[in-house]
Amino acid sequence: MIDFQLTDKQRQLKDALEGLGRHVVRPQSLAWDRDHTVSEAFLRQFMGMARAFAGEGSAERFLGTGEEPGAGHGADRGAPRGKPSQANRTAAVGAEALAWCDAALLLAMPGPGLGGPPVRSTGTPEQRQRFFGIFKDMSQELRWGAYGLTEPGAGSDVAAIRTTCVKDGDAWVLNGRKCYITNGARAAWTVIFATVDHRLGRAGHRAFVVEKGTPGFSVGKIEDKMGLRASETAELVLEDCRVPEANLLGGADAHASKEGFMTAMKTFDTTRPLVGAMACGIGRAAYEHARYFVRERYLLSRPIPRYAALAERLARVGRRLEAARALVHHAVYLADLEQQNAKEASMAKAYAGQAAVHACTEAIDLCGAHGTLAGSDQLLEKWFRDIKVFDIFEGTGNIQRVVIAKRIVSGLKAF
């Protein structure tokens, strides 16, 4: 039966998060943006509140703090078949709501972050236990995980990574440089992708969990960015960094074939719709801001000449966001059913990224000069600065289109 209704739980989650967003998060957003950080005290407090509202299980899902699948990977694999899980859908609802509050806060939340999915999907049971275990109790110390794939010379072209790994006794020696790694400097561990021989392409790739403090593993530059300024983006340097064999993700067997690597890459199918959901959240924040503005400022009892033109523009923004959300929800729906969703995940991410950039750009126009002013009750300009990267990270808009096109054009091999 076709049904677009959120479950009661999902609605409560959304309402609770947005309530926190309105009263607690947004009043501080601009200060965090200026200070380039969210205080640990606040992160602690916020995790507590989100858990209290969402219930332990669901909070772990969209915050991604738990070992349990946050998203996809057959959330309830092994569980008796019956009603399909809604874990991915709930995660998307939570991600949108949290990004609506403040996307930088979402990225700064403690937990394994983007490092979670590959450990979950590829890690051995021992590795999963060891690497997720540290997030169970963060009462003394907040902890983060990170995902280190991008290099100065390889972003979209993942197969071109040059960070090397060489087996030496019971360890691997890693050399290279990773850039733009979210939470890279603060992470307790980072999943680092390296190659045994770059001529092998993807088949030569290995993924390691490199722990903070490992000799030869250091933090380079912290990026100063247009937006998402309260989220840390770091460069990581590996110089003769010895990583124990036990930290090779999946163990040696998993990497015997190209398949092993593909598993690590498959995590995109579950993270991309969530990134799309976040983009929808920022876009919706901008849209609602503009809608309120148009209603308050332009809807006068006397007729004003350009009202119709503004209203039409507003409607177009809203329509594109609705379309984006529909694609996001379709992609997570397939994930919840444990069906292939690579194409749909890319569609969700590509469309939402673009629709949300459009929403933020247009919202400023609709609010006129007001929209460009920075103020703690005036976050439109911040959302405009935050949104563009949603069309860049987790695969640029063009890369998503490559993924989509390969699945709809017969015989299309490469671009």
Partner 1 sequence: MLSFEPTEEQRLMRDSVGDFARATLGAHAREHEAMRGVPDAVRRAAFELGLGTMDLPEDAGGQGLGLVTTVLLEEELGRADAAAAFALAGPGAFGTAVAELARPLERAALLAPFASAEAGHARFGAVGWSELRPNAERAGMSTVAVRDGAGYRLSGHKAFVHNAGLAERVLVVAQVEPERGWDGLGAFVVPTDAPGVTIGARHATVGLDCAWFGELGLDAVSVPAAARLEPEGSFTAALVRFFAKRALVVAARAVGLAGRAYDMARSYCDERVAFGKPIGHFQAVAFELADRHMDVESARWLLWRAAWHWDGAQPERAALGASAAATAHALEVAMRTADACVGLHGGIGFVRDLLAEKLMRDAKQMALACPTALLCDQLAAAVEVGAPLDPAAVLPTPEAQAIFVC
Ligand X SMILES: Cc1cc2nc3c(=O)[nH]c(=O)nc-3n(C[C@H](O)[C@H](O)[C@H](O)COP(=O)(O)OP(=O)(O)OC[C@H]3O[C@@H](n4cnc5c(N)ncnc54)[C@H](O)[C@@H]3O)c2cc1C
The site for ligand X, by CB under 6 A, has a size of 24
Question: Please, which residues have CB within 8 angstroms of residue 290's CB and are 6 or more apart in sequence?
Answer: 314, 317, 362, 363, 366, 367, 371, 380
Q: How far is the CB of 228 from ligand X (least distance, A)?
A: 5
Single out the residue of 148, 204, 353, 371 in contact with ligand X (rule: CB under 6 A).
Answer: 148
Alpha carbons within 13 angstroms on the beta-carbon side of residue 176 total 25
CA distance 149 to 178: 7
CA distance 115 to 109: 13
Q: How far is the CB of 364 from partner 1 (least distance, A)?
A: 6
Single out the residue of 21, 112, 145, 155 in contact with ligand X (rule: CB under 6 A).
Answer: 155
Cβ atoms of residues 187 and 146 within 8 Å: yes
Q: Which does 330 bind (CB under 5 to 8 A by kind): ligand X, partner 1, none?
A: none
Residue 5 binds to partner 1 (criterion: CB under 8 A): no
Single out the residue of 46, 62, 132, 147 in contact with ligand X (rule: CB under 6 A).
Answer: 147
Catalytic: 394? yes
CA distance 282 to 26: 12
Single out the residue of 173, 174, 181, 230 in contact with ligand X (rule: CB under 6 A).
Answer: 181
Build a one-symbol-per-residue string for 96-135: x at contacts with ligand X by CB under 6 A, - elsewhere: ------------------x---------------------
The Cα-based distances of 193 to 107, 108, 127, 256, 415 in angstroms read 21, 22, 16, 15, 24
Q: How far is the CB of 133 from ligand X (least distance, A)?
A: 22
Region near partner 1 per CB under 8 A, out of 16-24, 51-59, 186-194, 223-231 = 223-231
Region near partner 1 per CB under 8 A, out of 6-14, 62-70, 88-96, 391-399 = 391-399
Tell me which of 96, 344, 381, 394 is the catalytic residue.
394
Build a one-symbol-per-residue string for 20-59: x at contacts with ligand X by CB under 6 A, - elsewhere: ----------------------------------------
Measured at the CA of 104, the angle between CA 383 and CA 91, to 5 degrees, comes to 100
Alpha carbons within 13 angstroms on the beta-carbon side of residue 82 total 3
Residue 389 binds to ligand X (criterion: CB under 6 A): yes
Q: Which does 182 bind (CB under 5 to 8 A by kind): ligand X, partner 1, none?
A: ligand X
DSSP states along 42-104 = HHHHHHHHHHHHH-HHHHHHHHT-SSS-SS-S-TTTTSPSSSPP-HHHHHHHHHHHHHHHHHH
> Greatest CA separation found in the chain?
81
In DSSP terms, which residues pair with 208 in a beta bridge?
192, 248
Residue 166 binds to partner 1 (criterion: CB under 8 A): no
- Using CB under 8 A, which residues numbered 146 to 165 contact partner 1? 150, 153-157, 160
Q: Which two tokens stand for residue 292?
A: 């309120």
Region near partner 1 per CB under 8 A, out of 10-18, 164-172, 191-199, 300-308 = 300-308
Burial zone of 338 (CB within 10 Å; 0-12 exposed, 13-18 middle, 19+ buried): middle
Residue 304 binds to partner 1 (criterion: CB under 8 A): yes
Residue 145 binds to ligand X (criterion: CB under 6 A): no
Q: Which does 114 bind (CB under 5 to 8 A by kind): partner 1, ligand X, none?
A: ligand X
Nearer residue to partner 1 within complex by CB, 48 or 153: 153
Q: Which two tokens stand for residue 102?
A: 């403040």
In DSSP terms, which residues pair with 209 in a beta bridge?
191
Burial code (b: 16+ CB inside 10 Å, e: under 16) for 284-301 equals: bbbbebbbebbeeeeeee
Residue, CB closest to ligand X: 155
Which residues contact partner 1 by CB under 8 A?
150, 153-157, 160, 179-180, 223-227, 233, 297-298, 300-302, 304-307, 309-310, 313, 357, 361, 364-375, 381, 384-385, 388-389, 391-393, 396-398, 401, 414-415
